[in-house]
Amino acid sequence: MDTKLSTKQFIYIGSMLFGLFFGAGNLIFPVHMGQEAGNALWPATLGFLVTGVGLPFMGIVAMGISNSDGLNDLASRVHPAYAKFFTIMLYLTIGPAFALPRTGTVSYEIGLASYVGAANQSLYLAIFSFCFFLVALLFSLQPSKIIVWVGKLINPLFLVFLAILLGAALSGPMGTVAQPLPQGLYKTQSFFKGFTEGYNTMDALASLAFGIIVAKTLHGMGVQSPADIAKGTLKTGIVSVILMSVIYGALTWMGTASLGKLTISPNGGLALAQIAKYYFGSVGAVLLAIIVTLACLKTAIGLITACSQTFEELFPGKIQYRGYVFIFTGVAFLVANMGLTQIITLAIPILMFLYPLAITLILLTFFSAFCGTYTSVYRWTTVAAAVAALGDALNALPAVAKNLGLVQNLLGIYKELPFFALGMGWVLPSLLGFIIGLILRKKQKNVSLTIEK
């Protein structure tokens, strides 16, 4: 018999989900976008919300309505071999290879780096990241307690401290948002630029990982039927969507308004530090350090938990959950000490490849919920998206790799794709693959009917 959860319980789970999503990257990217977008901030914000909020929400709901046991099960609709490849790539990207170590480096860069001399940066980063990941590891060893650690404890604390900073900015703005002029692609393509900026949050990828955490949390609280789990996932997702949308809008606005007193910063972390110092002086650095560390810690706990649970299921009997927790945390600690700039530089090409695959899988899941699961549609759409997304990934490579002869020759072909310059060359090929899959499905169905007759 299903347990009927109260509104308060759904809010707690929604708070947990928001907490898992909203890390330091979610703080720094909209602020920097606001500074660069200038008076084009609202179209840019709308584009950012599509990929930074809308797609993660759809990913969470997709996992809920698909009745899948996890991402590997869901992606098997394309092919079992592809499912394992995609699952491993996605979890390594949001886990120990990029997103997880970024939680430690961002916390250090914003909270402590400015107080440390250049000669000692590597040493202090190592000490800080060791302590940070040790705390995250201890919390992650008890995955059943994640709703308590994140939903009821860390996330409410984070929201309180963030509200102090946003409240100061809203009550005493540095300037107006009508004056600053947009920079770069924001001048002519603000929506699409904001759309691709949302990739940096990695939340659409993370939604395919966190969706199963929500489903397991609901199951552990007594919700048993697939229909009720799907409804519960939808309700908790709405809580997260509201919180994220409001905060993203406020952060983007704060970034644009800050140009009344500040110049455009190289990154959102520095912009946040300057804004906090403007409003609170030396105390602002402490406030920001607390905000960022709490944001990163709760996301780190969720990523370690999700990755460890998934790899235990992918490779049963080899290593237990606790073993994966230690492995992934240790690897993240090592990668974190490469530094934030290197992590972001290496992550962008991988994101440009994986995001189209995640987006098409999410959209296909919704299509299947209403029209049925057609293997030909999944396969043709995914193949087309993967081939086109490879071009977007090559275009995002560091200059030393991008300038290689083979890469340049391939890019010469990919540049013919519509929207390639916007980092969205995968859109029309994916749509074409979807249409081909539908046509083949219809032909297969007609052949089957003919044979039966």
Give the start-to-end residue ranges of the domains of the chain: 7-337, 347-453
Average pLDDT for consecutive 10-residue bins of the chain (453 residues)? 74 80 81 92 93 88 79 91 93 88 85 82 91 92 75 80 90 88 89 86 82 77 77 83 90 93 84 88 85 85 88 88 95 86 79 91 87 87 95 88 88 90 89 93 58 42
pTM: 0.81
Q: How confident is the model at residue 445, as a pLDDT? A: 60
Q: How confident is the model at residue 1, as a pLDDT? A: 54
**Which amino acid belongs to residue 21?**
F
Q: How confident is the model at residue 78, as a pLDDT? A: 94
For residues 450 and 453, give the distance between their C-alpha atoms in angstroms, rounded to a whole number.
5
Architecture (CATH level 2) of domain 7-337? Up-down Bundle (1.20)
**Rg, the chain, Cα only:** 22
Residue pointed to by tokens 């395919």:
208
| Residue pair 20/151 in contact by the 8 Å Cβ criterion | no
Q: How confident is the model at residue 269, as a pLDDT? A: 78
For 281, left (φ over 0), alpha (ψ -120 to 50), or beta?
left
Q: Which two tokens stand for residue 82?
A: 């592809």
Angstrom CA distances, 251 to 29, 198, 336, 337, stand at 9, 14, 26, 28
Q: How confident is the model at residue 67, as a pLDDT? A: 75
Q: Which two tokens stand for residue 296?
A: 């990163």
